[in-house]
Homo-oligomer: A and B are copies of this chain.
Amino acid sequence: MSTHEGMTQEIRTVFWQDGAVVMIDQKALPLAERYVACSDYREVIAAINDLTVRGAPAIGVAAAMGIALGALRIPDSPPENFRRAFDDICTRFAATRPTARNLFWAIERMKRRCEEAYGVDREGLPEKGKGGPLQAIRETLIAEAIRIGEEDIEINRRLGRNGRDLIPDGARILTHCNAGALATAGYGTALGVLRAAREEGKKIHVYVDETRPVLQGARLTVWELMREDIPCTLIADNMAGCLMQKGGVDLVIVGADRIAANGDTANKIGTFGLAVLARAHGIPFYVAAPLSTIDPELADGGMIPIEERNPDEVIRCGGVRTAPNGVAVWNPAFDVTPNGLIAAIVTEAGVIRTPCADVIQQFCPPQPRRQDR
Contact = CB atoms under 8 A, between A and B. Distances in A.
A261 interface: no
Interface stretch (A133-141, A285-293, A328-336): A328-336
Contacts of A295: none
Nearest to A328: B233
List the number of copies, as a whole number: 2
B273 A241 contact: yes
B335 A245 contact: yes
Nearest to A236: B212
B211 A238 contact: yes
Which residue among A176, A207, A319, A323 has the maximum number of chain B CB atoms within 10 Å of its CB?
Answer: A323
Interface in A177-223: 207, 209-213, 215, 218-219, 222-223
B315 A318 contact: no
Nearest to A334: B242
A246 to B, nearest CB: 9
B314 A242 contact: no
Which residue among A209, A273, A318 has the maximum number of chain B CB atoms within 10 Å of its CB?
Answer: A273
A280 interface: yes
Contacts of A212: 210, 212, 236-238
A324 B30 contact: yes
Interface string A298-310: 0000000000000
A335 B244 CA distance: 11
A269 interface: yes
Nearest to A273: B241
Interface string A312-345: 0011111111111011111110011000000000
Which residue among A219, A272, A315 has the maximum number of chain B CB atoms within 10 Å of its CB?
Answer: A272
Given A31-B321, A234-B315, A237-B238, A330 B209 contact: no
A329 B176 CA distance: 15
A186 to B, nearest CB: 20
A2 to B, nearest CB: 25
Contact of A330 (B233, B277, B327): B233
Which residue among A232, A270, A316 has the maximum number of chain B CB atoms within 10 Å of its CB?
Answer: A270
A173 to B, nearest CB: 14
Which residue among A212, A317, A330 has the maximum number of chain B CB atoms within 10 Å of its CB?
Answer: A317
Interface of A: 30-31, 176, 207, 209-213, 215, 218-219, 222-223, 226, 231-243, 245, 269-270, 272-273, 276-277, 279-280, 314-324, 326-332, 335-336
The 5 closest A-B pairs by CB, nearest first: A238-B270, A241-B273, A318-B320, A317-B318, A242-B335
